[in-house]
Structure 1
C-alpha cells in the first residue's frame, strides 16, 4: 500500500460524515458492516488492492465507533442541560470580538457546574448581559440558564459549534465574578501576543488594510468590515481571510531562509520549521485549517531531518486522521472540509497534471516560465473550484463564477501581503529592527489596497455571484462528472474533454440565468429570530421590508447576512416596533451593516443612525413596489403590523391585539409578549409563527376553542414561506 495514511485518513473522514448524516443506530449498523467487510478482507489480503480495502473498512469501523462514543459520552450529557439553570465556574476562553480584554464573554470552559449529575468539564457558548473587566483565561463564575444551540436561516450553528466542542449555550442571569489565576500558561501568552500584534497592525496601517492584515496573518477577523467580507465572498476569494497551508508553508520557508544565515547544520534548520509551525498555529488560535497545515509541515520538515522525503497526500491523510480522532465534530465543519478538499486538489494537480500541462505547452512552442506558471495557476484554481463546489453550493446556495480569475489576480498579492506581514511582526517584536517597520507597512498598505480594489471591482461585475437552487446545482455537478466520464471513455477515438467542459459551462450559465428569471416575482416571508418572531423579512425581486431587527446584535447580523445572500444591500423599509434595550441594540447593529431607505420607529433613537427618511411610529399606511401595502397600528407597548402582498396578508403582533372574524389573514407571527383577544376567521389553512411554548388558549384571552385550520410553528427560526402570484404558500426549513 503506497499511501496508508491517506487511505486511513480519508476513510475516517468519509465514515464520520456518514455517521453524522444518518446518526443514531444507523451509524452503529454501518460501523458493524464496515467491521465485517474489513475482517473478510483480511482473509484475502494477498490479493492486489486488498490491503487498501482492509485499511479503509477497518478505519471506517473505528470512525463509526468513535462517533458513537463522541455522541453518547460528550454531546448528549452536555446538551441535556438545555432548559435548566445552574451556577457555573470556569475560565474565559473567548470574547465576542476576539479580543483579549474589555468586552463581552462568548465562551467559557466550565470546570464546575452545580446542576445534579452534570458534566464537570465542558465548554459552552455564553450569552453575556454586559462587558466585564477581564482577560482571557481569567476565572469567572455566575448563574446561567442553559439553552440549546439552534441553526439560523443563514448559518449552520449546530455543526459549527459542535466542531469546536460547543454542545450547549448559556444565558447569564446574575453578575459575573472574575478572579485572576496564579499562572495562565502558554495559551495566554500567545493570546496576548496576537492581541498586541493585531493592535500594532490596526494602528500602523491605513484604512481597512490593518483589518485585512490582522485577518490574513493572525486569524483575527473582528475588524473586517461587512463590505470587505461581501466583496471577497462575491469574487470567490473569501478563503484568503482564513489561515491556511499557504501561511504555514510561507512562514516555514522564511524561517528556513533565516536559519541558513546562521552557523547551524541542515538538521537544525529543519528543526526550526518543526518548532515554528506549531508555534504559529498557537498564535492564530488553532483553526482546523492551520492545525492541518501545521501537522503536514511537521511531517515534511521532520522527515527531512532523517534525509527522507514525505509524501504530501500521505501527510494530508495523517493530518485528517489526527484532527478527527481528537475532534470528531470537525468532520461536519465547512472550513475543515474546504481545507481538506482544496489541499487535496492542489496536491493532485501537482502530482497528476503539472507535468502533462508542461509537456503540452513545450510541444506547442510555449516555453516561457511565467506562462507555464499562469496556466498552472488557472487550471489548479479551476480544479479546486470544481472540487469544492458541492460544499459551497450546499452551504450558501450561491457560487462565484469568477473565482478562478480572482485567485489568479490575487495570488501574487497574497504572497506579498504574507511576506510583508511576517516581516512586520518580526520588526515589531525585535526593538533593534523597529526602524524597518515603516518599510513593511508600505508593502502591507500597497498589497492590501490592491487586493481590496481588485476584489471590489470583480464583485461589481453583474451576475458573478448568483443564487441558485441547490438541487439544480447538484444536478449540474453530477451531470458534468457524467460528461467527463463519457469523454474519458471515448478518449482513444476523439478527445471530447474541451467539448464536455464548454457544454457544462453553457448548462450552468443557462440554469443560473433561468433561476434568476423565475425567482424574480417570488415573494419570500422569512422568520429570522426564534426568540423574537416579529423579526421577519419580506423579500421580492431584490427589495426587502424588515419588521423588527431581532432580540440582539447577533440576530441583526443574521438578518444582514441573509439579505446580502439574496443580493440585497439596501432595505426599502425597516419597521422597529420595540424600544427596549436589546431591540434598540439590534436595530443599531442592523443599521451599521445595511442602509435603510425608510425607517419607521422612534425618531429620537435612530435619527443619527441612518441617512434615510424616518417616520414616527403612529398609525400609518405605506404602499410600495407594485402591490405591497404596509399598515402599522401602535399603542404604547403593543403594535400590530399588517403586510399585504400578492394577495396574501401577514400580521405581526407585539403585545395585545385583536382580529375581527371578517378579516382574512394568512400568516400571523407572535412575539414572546403577544396576547390575542380573538383570531380572524378563515376559509382555508392559516399559519401561526412563534407561539413558542404557549398553547392557543394562552394566546387567546377569550379562550376561543374553534381553531381547526391553523398550523403552528412554535420555533420560527429557519421557516421560509414562498409563493408567487397569490398562490398557495409553501413552507421549507433551510436550517435546522
Structure 2
C-alpha cells in the first residue's frame, strides 16, 4: 500500500459517520461482522497478499467497536441523569453565549448531588438572566437535567456529543446561584479572553451587520449575525463560509507566514512561528473539529518545510481525521467536519488538475494571463468543493442549492480578502485602539462584507435558488451514484468514462428532484414538527405554506423545515397559545418569511415581540373567540379559543385534523371537530374519551411521553418524541399517507 494512513484514516472517519447514523447497538453488530470479515481475509491468499481488504475491514471493526464502547462507557451513563433535578458544582469552560433571549454556558460538572453519577462531564447550562462569570469561574446551583432534541443519528443530540456535551440543563435561578472567580487560569483561558477581545475589536470598527459577518467568517461566531444573513447563505449553498474550516485555516497560516517572511525572518524560524500562530488560531476558534482537522494539516505542512520534506496532502488529511476520530468517536456527528473533509478531498484530488487543464486551453494571452489563471483556480476550487460536499449537504439539509456554483464564484475571493484585511485590522486595533493604521484595513473588510451581504441576499431571492430533495430519493440517488462509480472503476476505462458517470449522476439528481416536485403537485402535506412538548404544524401545497402553532424552544426547527421545502414566504401564521415562547417564535417567523396574513387572538396583541413585527405583514386578523381562514383550494382552517388556548380544525382534501394544544377545553368544541380523522396534541387531555380519531400524533418529548404512560396506548399514537417530524400527505380521494422525516 502506497498510502496506508489514507486508507486507515478515511475508513475510520467514514465508519464513524455510519455508526452515528446507525446507532450504538447496530455498531456492535457491524463491529463483529467486520471482525469476522477480517479473519476471513487471512485465509484467502490473494486478499492476504494485498493487505488492503484486511486492513480496511480491521479498521472498520475497530471504529465500530470504539463507537459502541465510547457510547456505553462515556455517553450513556451521563444521559441516564436526564429528567432529574440535581445540585451541581462546576467550572465554566467556554465563553458565555446569548440566543433566543436566554444565556448559555458550557459547564464542566465536578460535583453533583446524585449518587453514583459519573464525573466530570460537561453540560450546556441555560439561564434567564446573565450570570456574572468569565471562563473558568465556578458555579454552584440547582438545575434540571435533560437531553438535547433528537435521538440516534444525525441530530442535535449527536452534534452536542461531538462537542463533548451529552446533557443540557436549565438553572433554577430562584433557588440562588453561587458564583466564584477562577482559581486557575490555564492557557486556554487566555485564548478565550483573546477571542473575546478580538470579537469586540471588530465590533468597535464596523457597523453591526458587517461586524457580524466578519466575526462569523473569521472566528465562527454567528451569534450576532442577523438570522436573514444565515438563511441567505444557507439558501445559496455557501454556509460553509460561516463555519471556520480549511479555507480559513489555510488563509490565516499563509497570512502569518507571509508577514514573517516579509519581516525577513528566515524560512525555518518563520515556519516554527507560523506553527505557533496556527495553534493559537485553533484555540481562538475553540478547537472545533473542522478547524482542528485543517490545523493539523497546516502543522504537518509547516513542519515538512522545516525538515525539507514535501508533505503528502492525502496522508496529511488521513492523519488529521484519524487523530480527531480517535480522540472522540462522535466527531463524525459534526457535519462541519464532514463538509471540511469532503471539500478538502475534492480539492486535493481534482482542483489542481482542473485548473491546469483550463489554463492549457484558455491561458493564451499574456496580458491577461494572471486574471485567467486566477479565474481558472477559483473554478477548479469551486466545482470540486461543491460536488464533493453535495451528498452531505443534501442528506443534512434536505435540499439542493442550484445557486451554489455561482455563489461560490462570487463570494470565495471576497471572503478570503475580507479575512486577511479584518484579521490585520482587528489585531492592530486591539494593540492600539482606534489607531489610524487599522482604518484602511477595516474599511476594506467592511466594503467586502457589504458586497458579500448584498450578493448573498440578491442570489437568495432568485426563483429556485434552492429546491427540496426528498429523503427517500436522496438515498436512492446516492446508492445509484456509488454503484455507477464502482462499475466505472471495475471497467478501468479512460478518464472520459468517469466524466460521463459524473454527468449521468448529476442528470439523475436533477431529474429526481424535478419528478418529486411533479409528484407532489396538488398534494396537501401536513407536517407535525418535532419541537418537544409543543405544537408546530406546517401545511404546504404547491409551493405555498401556512404555520399553525409556533411552539418549541426556538423557531429554528420551523424555519429549517420551511427552508427545506423551498418556502420563501408564508401565506398564513397563526399562534395557538399565549405563551412567551410561541409569541417570540411567531415574531421571528414573521420577520423571516413576511407572511401575507397573521391570525391572532386579541389577547396575544399585548406581546412586545409581535407588536414590533406585525407591521411587516400583509394583513392582520384579530379575533375574540372564532376565526376562519380559507387557504387554498379545498383547504380551510377554523380556530376557536376555548379554555386557555386555541383549538384548530383543518379540513383538506376531505380529511379533517384537530389540533389540541395543552389547555384546550374539549367539551366546548363543535361535534364536527370532535369527529376529526386525526388529532394532534402536545398533552394528554382529560376529556380524550370525547374523541375517536383514526390516528393521534403526540407532539411530545420523551420525558412527557413517559409520564403519559399507558394513557396513550388506545389512541393509535404516532410520536415525535425526538425521533423526527411526522408528515401526512392528504390526497383528493381522502387517502392519507403517514411517514416520518
- Aligned twin of 1:722: 729
Q: Shift of residue 252 of structure 1?
A: 1.6
- Aligned twin of 2:641: 634
Q: Please tell me whether the aligned partners of residues 533 and 689 of structure 1 are also in contact (alpha carbons under 8 angstroms).
A: no
- Aligned twin of 1:7: 7
Distance 1:698 1:501 in 2: 53
Distance 2:438 2:364 in 1: 47
Distance 2:169 2:390 in 1: 35
CA gap 1:60/1:679 in 2 versus in 1, 3 angstroms: same
SS at match of 1:146: strand
- Aligned twin of 1:563: 562
SS at match of 1:279: helix
Do residues 72 (structure 1) and 72 (structure 2) align? yes
Do residues 160 (structure 1) and 167 (structure 2) align? no
Distance 2:574 2:368 in 1: 63
Do residues 116 (structure 1) and 115 (structure 2) align? yes
- CA RMSD for the aligned pairs? 3.5
Q: Shift of residue 540 of structure 1?
A: 2.3
Q: Shift of residue 113 of structure 1?
A: 1.3
Q: Shift of residue 487 of structure 1?
A: 7.2
CA distances 1:576-601 after superposition (whole Å, capped 9, x unpaired): 23224444444444444443421313
Q: Please tell me whether the aligned partners of residues 619 and 632 of structure 1 are also in contact (alpha carbons under 8 angstroms).
A: yes
Q: Please tell me whether the aligned partners of residues 24 and 67 of structure 2 are also in contact (alpha carbons under 8 angstroms).
A: no
Q: Shift of residue 624 of structure 1?
A: 2.8
SS at match of 1:571: coil
Structure 2 counterparts to residues 637-716 of structure 1, below 5 A: 637-653=644-660, 654-655=662-663, 656-658=665-667, 663-672=674-683, 674-676=685-687, 678-681=689-692, 685-690=694-699, 692-693=705-706, 710-713=716-719, 715=721
Q: How many residues align?
A: 721
CA gap 1:107/1:673 in 2 versus in 1, 3 angstroms: farther
Contiguous gaps of at least 5 residues in structure 1: 700-706
CA distances 1:126-184 after superposition (whole Å, capped 9, x unpaired): 34343323233321122222222222999821221121122222233344322212233
Q: Shift of residue 503 of structure 1?
A: 4.9
CA gap 1:192/1:24 in 2 versus in 1, 3 angstroms: closer
SS at match of 1:171: strand
Q: Please tell me whether the aligned partners of residues 152 and 718 of structure 1 are also in contact (alpha carbons under 8 angstroms).
A: no
SS at match of 2:311: coil
CA distances 1:670-692 after superposition (whole Å, capped 9, x unpaired): 2337432642346xx23242473
CA gap 1:87/1:548 in 2 versus in 1, 3 angstroms: same
Distance 2:513 2:38 in 1: 44
SS at match of 1:88: strand
Distance 2:490 2:44 in 1: 30
Q: Please tell me whether the aligned partners of residues 533 and 669 of structure 1 are also in contact (alpha carbons under 8 angstroms).
A: no
Q: Shift of residue 95 of structure 1?
A: 6.2
Distance 2:397 2:409 in 1: 23
CA distances 1:453-494 after superposition (whole Å, capped 9, x unpaired): 222222222213111223333444454566667778889799
Distance 1:233 1:581 in 2: 28
Q: Indicate the larger mover: 515-524 or 289-298.
A: 515-524
Distance 2:242 2:104 in 1: 24
- Aligned twin of 2:606: 604
Do residues 452 (structure 1) and 463 (structure 2) align? no
Q: Shift of residue 350 of structure 1?
A: 4.8
Structure 2 counterparts to residues 204-603 of structure 1, below 5 A: 204-206=205-207, 208-262=209-263, 264-350=265-351, 355=356, 358-359=359-360, 368-431=369-432, 434-480=435-481, 503-552=504-553, 554=554, 556-596=555-595, 597-601=597-601, 602-603=604-605
Q: TM-score, normalised by structure 1?
A: 0.89
- Aligned twin of 1:702: none
Distance 2:95 2:495 in 1: 60
Q: Shift of residue 536 of structure 1?
A: 2.0
Distance 2:196 2:621 in 1: 40
CA gap 1:33/1:538 in 2 versus in 1, 3 angstroms: closer
Q: Please tell me whether the aligned partners of residues 89 and 109 of structure 2 are also in contact (alpha carbons under 8 angstroms).
A: yes
CA gap 1:616/1:489 in 2 versus in 1, 3 angstroms: same
CA gap 1:551/1:501 in 2 versus in 1, 3 angstroms: closer
Q: Indicate the larger mover: 72-81 or 655-664.
A: 655-664
Distance 1:350 1:568 in 2: 34
Q: Please tell me whether the aligned partners of residues 41 and 48 of structure 2 are also in contact (alpha carbons under 8 angstroms).
A: no
Q: Shift of residue 439 of structure 1?
A: 0.3
- Aligned twin of 2:124: 125
Q: Shift of residue 244 of structure 1?
A: 1.4
CA gap 1:238/1:714 in 2 versus in 1, 3 angstroms: closer
Q: Please tell me whether the aligned partners of residues 667 and 687 of structure 1 are also in contact (alpha carbons under 8 angstroms).
A: yes
Q: Shift of residue 3 of structure 1?
A: 2.1
Q: Indicate the larger mover: 272-281 or 42-51.
A: 42-51
Structure 2 counterparts to residues 93-112 of structure 1, below 5 A: 93-94=93-94, 97=97, 104-112=103-111
CA gap 1:432/1:503 in 2 versus in 1, 3 angstroms: closer
Q: TM-score, normalised by structure 2?
A: 0.88
Distance 2:518 2:351 in 1: 40
Distance 1:30 1:180 in 2: 48
- Aligned twin of 2:144: 145
Q: Shift of residue 418 of structure 1?
A: 1.3
Contiguous gaps of at least 5 residues in structure 2: none
